[in-house]
Amino acid sequence: MVWAIVGVAILLLLVLVVVAMYNRLVRLRNRSENTWAQVDVQLRRRYDLIPNLVEAVKGYAAHERATFDEVTKARTAAQQAQGIEEQAKAENVLTAALGRLFAVAEAYPQLRATENFQQLQAQLAEVEQNIVVARQVYNDTVLTYDNALETVPTNIVAGLFNFRPRAYFETEGATREAPAVQFST
């Protein structure tokens, strides 16, 4: 009789431990999804600024059609990207295209002096900084989640309930820095 009670107590304790680990994994997964949503909000703000920026530059450098098309295509590709890896690649292309757009704008001092362009620069610089912060928070959250998936004994529970690692949102090579949006006047 005593052994039956001890057995039931051990089984109950084991169930409670598994439930606690499962709940922790759910919280970490949900936190990583929430932080990705915050990155997505900043990316959408960036996408909303780009058409205004292109139009502002277009008014001064209409002959730079290829650059405008490149930025527009990169923006569309970034908006349509599915999954974090594809999103990261599309964002890298968009950042490079924006860099080329600002290089075009650099050749037009009258454009750089306009209040509208300066406001767009300031807004884009703010959004780029927000993206950097949101990406860092997301990647830190994913690190915590992925570590929980790989450590014993949580990895056993993660395997039983089909928890999967999440991808980091990383930039590559020359796009590791935000596009230069500050010009001398």
pLDDT digits (tens, 9 = 90+) for 103-126: 988 888 888 888 999 999 999 999
pLDDT digits (tens, 9 = 90+) for 40-78: 999 999 999 999 999 999 888 888 889 999 999 999 999
* C-alpha distances out from residue 105 to 47, 60, 126, 178, Å: 19, 8, 19, 16
pTM, 2 dp: 0.85
CA atoms of 168 and 135, how far apart (whole Å): 9
DSSP string, 14-34: HHHHHHHHHHHHHHHHHHHHH
